């Protein structure tokens, strides 16, 4: 049995670990407001960049130049729609199994698939609007793997080339437990964020499950209110002192009494 005082001395460690561990994602609100360029289309849908904002901790920020959709399986609607999502950095997908599992396609395309999507998303930022539709089509195809929504033959030759080239660099998508050094490097070097819908607070109500978006609005995985850091240091000091006292007197009393102690 552990003595009560010894258990109390260990308590601050568990509490502080809980305070120190960052969350793998943070709830945000996505507000989809439109399509950046209606002439950019692919596979019968608007493609390229979508316009909208991310609201986190009461602060609303526009994604620039816009959101990219990686999800051909679900739909969103004009003129606008909003929903709750979980924000996760692409970089964390390379190191955190929990972050990967929270992504919409984490269990089907894995690290290699999301690395390919990150690469194509960065490529879109430097590609004229006339070529963005093919990039969207390639991203949608990768995201749809496992669902059978799209086949490679649905893509035109340029979009197919994007997919086959990435397969050569990262290996087969869909091996959720595998990763290549090229895929890890792509994710670790990415500054993009993934916004995965939770299915909650969808407006207008009654709209179906929305899409997973990619954007550039960074959302801290763990937000500390103003003044939170000094408070945490004070808490550390108090716990350290109480732990030291408990350990000292725990030795003295130990011999006396033992106690048990989850648009297109």
pLDDT digits (tens, 9 = 90+) for 127-158: 999 999 999 999 999 999 988 899 999 999 99
| Gap between the Cα atoms of 96 and 110, Å rounded | 12
Residue range of the domain that includes 167: 26-215
Instruction: Return the higher-pLDDT residue of 172 and 142.
Output: 142
User: From the centroid of its chain, how far is CA 8?
Assistant: 36
Q: Are residues 98 and 202 in the same domain?
A: yes
State yes or no: pLDDT of 178 exceeds 70: no
pLDDT at 227: 40
Q: Are residues 153 and 233 in the same domain?
A: no
pLDDT at 167: 84
How many domains in the chain? 2
Instruction: Tell me if 206 is assigned to some domain.
Output: yes
Q: Are residues 34 and 135 in the same domain?
A: yes
Can you read off the two tokens belonging to residue 192? 């993009």
Q: Are residues 79 and 182 in the same domain?
A: yes
Instruction: Tell me if 264 is assigned to some domain.
Output: no
List 60's β-bridge partners, or say none. 55
Q: Are residues 99 and 172 in the same domain?
A: yes
pTM of structure: 0.76
Instruction: Tell me if 261 is assigned to some domain.
Output: no
Q: Are residues 186 and 63 in the same domain?
A: yes
Query: Percent of the chain scored above 90 by pLDDT?
Result: 62
């Amino acid at each position: 049995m552990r003595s009560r005082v010894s258990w109390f001395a260990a308590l601050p460690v568990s509490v502080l670990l809980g305070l120190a561990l960052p969350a793998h994602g943070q709830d945000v609100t996505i507000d989809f407001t439109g399509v950046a360029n209606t002439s950019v289309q692919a596979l019968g849908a608007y493609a390229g960049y979508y316009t909208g904002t991310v609201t986190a901790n009461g602060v609303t920020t526009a994604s620039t130049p816009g959101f990219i959709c990686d999800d051909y399986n679900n739909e969103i609607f004009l003129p606008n729609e909003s929903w709750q999502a979980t924000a996760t950095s692409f970089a964390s997908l390379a190191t955190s199994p929990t972050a990967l599992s929270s992504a919409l396609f984490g269990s089907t395309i894995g690290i290699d698939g999301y690395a390919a999507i990150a690469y194509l998303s960065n490529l879109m930022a430097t590609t004229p609007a006339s070529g963005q539709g093919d990039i969207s089509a390639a991203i949608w195809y990768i995201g749809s793997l496992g669902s059978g929504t799209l086949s490679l033959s649905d893509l035109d030759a340029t979009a197919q080339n994007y997919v086959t080239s990435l397969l050569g660099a990262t290996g087969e998508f869909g091996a959720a437990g595998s990763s290549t050094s090229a895929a890890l490097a792509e994710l670790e070097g990415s500054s993009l964020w993934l916004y995965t819908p939770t299915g909650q607070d969808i407006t207008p109500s009654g709209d179906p499950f929305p899409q997973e978006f990619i954007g550039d609005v960074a959302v801290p995985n763990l937000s500390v209110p103003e003044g939170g850091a000094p408070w945490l240091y004070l808490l550390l000091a108090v716990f350290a002192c109480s732990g030291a006292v408990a350990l000292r007197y725990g030795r003295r009393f130990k011999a006396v009494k033992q106690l048990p102690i989850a648009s297109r």
